[in-house]
Amino acid sequence: MREVEIAPTFEDWRQAARELLLHDIPPDEVVWVDASSHDPSRLDFDKTARPSPGGPKSPLISVPKSFVDLARRVAEHHDPARWSILYRLLWRLVHENRDLLRVATDPDVAAAARMGRSATQGAEGPSAMGQPPQLEPDAAIAAAFLPTDLSLPALREAAARCTGCALYKTATQTVFGMGPTEARVMFIGEQPGDQEDLAGAPFVGPAGEVLTRALAEVGIWRHEVYITNAVKHFKWEPRGKRRIHMTPRLQEIQACRPWLEAEIETIKPSMIVCLGATAAQSLMGPQFRVMRNRGRAFQTRWAPWLMATIHPSAILRIDDPAAQEQAYADLVADLRIVAVRLEEERRSKTLGELPPAAEK
Ligand code: SF4
């Protein structure tokens, strides 16, 4: 172990962390010591534990800007553990997963997000008490609003205050997912529509009626499944007196993903059904094509069985009655696959007895 003593500032931590990283020193070999909390006689601490500037490797260390922003906020927190959490995050971003900050349920990400949120709220002073921090749109920003308790009521309450991207400004309210915690199937749509925005509930408008009817045809009841959206606020543009749906941008989908991940983490569904490209690409990546893959089951890190199909609103946009009827029949056919799998699961006592989905 090596003791690394730093002034309790983001700049000093960054300098030390950079040196440690360049010397390939893993987080579990480092003990961070706050110089300001030490006896003055120790201020001339032995810096031999801290690697000398420069290292044997390239000095270029590239991390997402979102990490730098988050680290600055976390540095303002008072928890002594913040330096080790930040260095562990940095190490893992560089060595394991550059998209780590999008994994809102990761313990390090969640801890840093909580500290960043708490520090920001404290810095805003008493006049801002109770107000969520105003932050830049960012892939991990919604994570800063996640509660410690990942129960559905706590998540719903916290999401109601989310300002993780600009969409909250023009929407009526956050539309969080609905359904029982013990639901085995989670349906994920794109974003709330006009009626959902007003009602504060997902899939209660025309597209929701189509979904409910199609589910009933295959013997699945809405009250037994969990239904949510990839993006929790309604994105729209005015046209006359009407509010016209706009497709959320990738940045908005990513900003909102911590909520979706937290829902998945809490429900732990054995089956996920993505309705439309936005939901499917949110979980399966931007290369995923719904029309090419609809009806196919994938084994994913989100759930052991994930399938994509079209969004019910796509059916409503078809003008030709015959084509609309066919599109609806195709949706029902896809949902029947879900119903069969659900029935198999009901009959089977354990998931392990079920055939696995294709690898993904
Ligand atoms: S869309 Fe998602 S990330 Fe953006 S403000 Fe709403 S809840 Fe937060």
What are the pLDDT digits (tens) for 298-342? 999 899 999 999 999 999 999 999 999 999 999 999 999 999 999
Stated pTM of the model: 0.65
197 within 8 A of 301, measured Cβ to Cβ? no
Ligand 1 geometric centre to CA of 92 (Å):
26
Ligand 1 geometric centre to CA of 17 (Å):
32
Q: Is residue 118 very low, low, confident or very high in pLDDT (cuts 50, 70, 90)?
A: low
Of 69-78, 106-115, 221-230, the poorest mean pLDDT is in 106-115
Whether the pLDDT of residue 115 is over 60: the answer is yes
Torsions phi, psi for 226 (to 5 deg): -105, 130
118 versus 331: the higher-pLDDT residue is 331
Q: Where are the domains of the chain?
A: 2-121, 166-359
pLDDT in tens, 168-187: 999 999 999 999 999 999 99
Ligand 1 geometric centre to CA of 150 (Å):
17
Whether the pLDDT of residue 354 is over 70: the answer is no
Cα 347 to Cα 116, 151, 180, 226, 341, distances in angstroms: 46, 28, 20, 20, 10
Distance CA 96, CA 348 (A): 36
Which of 174, 196, 246, 278 is the pocket-test mutation for ligand 1 (most atoms within 8 Å of CB)? 174
112 within 8 A of 50, measured Cβ to Cβ? no
Does the C-beta of 167 come closer than 6 Å to ligand 1?
yes
Q: Which two tokens stand for residue 308?
A: 């994509």
Q: What is residue 81's predicted lDDT score, i.e. its pLDDT? A: 83
137: left (phi over 0), alpha (psi -120 to 50) or beta: beta
270 versus 101: the higher-pLDDT residue is 270
Does the C-beta of 293 come closer than 6 Å to ligand 1?
no
What mean pLDDT do residues 138-153 have?
A: 77
Q: What is residue 127's predicted lDDT score, i.e. its pLDDT? A: 31
Q: Is residue 134 very low, low, confident or very high in pLDDT (cuts 50, 70, 90)?
A: very low
Distance CA 65, CA 229 (A): 27
Distance CA 22, CA 25 (A): 8
23 versus 187: the higher-pLDDT residue is 187
Distance CA 329, CA 221 (A): 18
What mean pLDDT do residues 6-28 have?
A: 89
Residue with tokens 């490209």: 277
Distance CA 246, CA 122 (A): 35
pLDDT in tens, 230-289: 999 999 999 998 999 999 998 899 889 899 999 999 999 999 999 999 999 889 888 899
- Residue identifier of the C-alpha nearest atom 4 of ligand 1: 165
DSSP state of 239: E
Does the C-beta of 262 come closer than 6 Å to ligand 1?
no
SS3 165: coil
SS3 227: strand
> Among 22, 90, 30, which residue's Cα sits nearest to residue 55?
22
Reported as type and span, the H/E element at residue 157 is helix 152-159
264 versus 47: the higher-pLDDT residue is 264
4 within 8 A of 31, measured Cβ to Cβ? yes
Residues 6+ apart with CB under 8 A from 240: none
Cα 96 to Cα 16, 88, 91, 118, 315, distances in angstroms: 20, 11, 8, 27, 41
Q: Which two tokens stand for residue 142?
A: 């919604």
Q: What is residue 42's predicted lDDT score, i.e. its pLDDT? A: 41
Q: Residue type for 354, please?
A: L
Residue with tokens 């390090």: 108
What is the dotted CATH code of the domain comprising 166-359? 3.40.470.10
Whether the pLDDT of residue 90 is over 70: the answer is yes
What is the number of the ligand 1 atom nearest to the C-alpha of 258?
3
Q: Residue type for 119, please?
A: A
Whether the pLDDT of residue 21 is over 60: the answer is yes
Q: Is residue 200 very low, low, confident or very high in pLDDT (cuts 50, 70, 90)?
A: very high
Does the C-beta of 139 come closer than 6 Å to ligand 1?
no
Q: Is residue 348 very low, low, confident or very high in pLDDT (cuts 50, 70, 90)?
A: confident
Whether the pLDDT of residue 123 is over 80: the answer is no
Q: CA torsion 43→47→49→50, rounded to 10°?
A: 110
Q: Which two tokens stand for residue 2?
A: 């090596």
DSSP state of 310: -
